[in-house]
A and B are shown apart, each in its own frame.
Chain A
Amino acid sequence: MCCSGEPGHPRYRNGDPEDQLFTEGELLFRRYKAEHFQNGRLLPAAFKFPRQSFNREKYSRPEDVLHSDCCEGQKLQDGWGVLECSSTNLPTPIDGHDGRTFQFEAIHKPLECCYAHTEVCCKAEGEFIDEPSKRVRDTFRVRLAQRMTVRIKASR
């Protein structure tokens, strides 16, 4: 995919390495659809599991997540807003009730046209786990939704 090259575009990778150092309180940004925010609450349906995508604050402005370079080239219309949460205050750990405890952490996964791209990954005993039980998955989605706050309100 070609990057847009538009003035003010999000930071591109340009061969830069990953940066796994997240400072205390560094924010993560994510776009959301207006319909997923109801009665002052973000609905867990806004998140898939695993590896939810975000942009990290160190290399991104909040509005960059709405830019086509960070949306696989899609030009978003009205109805989108931006959420934020702290990368160091994710809802972790979550007890799997199967003897395992699941940890969640932000991992910098830069994309060519979106250097700030970051994923929140699930681990147990040091291993990446993409399919824990439904109980763990939905508990995480619920708690993550509750930690997100609106940074840019979606227009309806």
Chain B
Amino acid sequence: MPAIQVQVPPERGSFRLDRFRPAIHRVETLAYNQRIGEWLRWPEQSNFLTVKYGLIDAEGALDRISNMKRGWDSYGAEPPDGNAVRASREILQELAGALILPSTIVPSAEGGVSIYFMTGHRTVYIESYNQGSQTLVMYDQDGTAEVLEIGPDISRTDVADRILAYLG
């Protein structure tokens, strides 16, 4: 009479990763490893592309804004001049380094360029004026506003951190 082979259930307890090792080895080809490497670098590349395309959009907006005529707002506003456009471009590049991209860029009726960053209930804008000064304004839906002149009140290198802290 043949002996009855009893099926013993696998040990319960710690998970035995070594059981999968042969399967993992089988897919570890060169292409697989390259793909995994690309995958691991993806967040970095994704950020790079987001910033790159964001800056292309911003550049397009600045080009359009820099061609406006006097009275573009129909209330006699001055068009943004070269100083305001240049200052805006510089600060956009600095902020992009901190992965901060604008929600919109518009001409300002004050004579200059306004760059907006918006979240649910909070808004930040940086206004670069034709006269050369720049202002950082942060406000919420209740109209509580903080106005800082870039230079006298806040250094340019601190602007990105300030925006991130405010918008969260």
User: A residues near B, CB below 8 A?
Assistant: 31, 33, 35-36, 38-39, 41, 43-49, 52-53, 71-72, 74, 76, 80, 91, 134-135, 138-139, 142-143, 146
Contact = CB atoms under 8 A, between A and B. Distances in A.
Interface of B: 71, 73-77, 103-104, 106-111, 114, 116, 118, 123, 125, 127, 135, 137, 139, 141, 143, 145, 147, 149
B119 to A, nearest CB: 10
Contacts of B145: 138-139, 142-143
A80 B135 CA distance: 27
Contacts of A80: 74
A39 B141 CA distance: 13
A10 to B, nearest CB: 14
B149 A134 contact: yes
A39 B74 contact: no
A41 B118 contact: yes
Nearest to B133: A134
Contacts of A142: 137, 139, 143, 145
* Interface SS majority for chain B: strand
A41 B118 CA distance: 10
Contacts of A49: 110
A143 B141 CA distance: 9
A47 B112 CA distance: 12
Contacts of A35: 104, 106
Contact of A45 (B108, B147, B149): B108
A139 B106 contact: no
Nearest to B110: A48
A2 to B, nearest CB: 18
Nearest to B129: A134
B147 A139 contact: yes
B137 A72 contact: no
A52 to B, nearest CB: 8
Contacts of B106: 35-36, 43, 45
Contacts of A146: 141, 143
B104 A138 contact: no
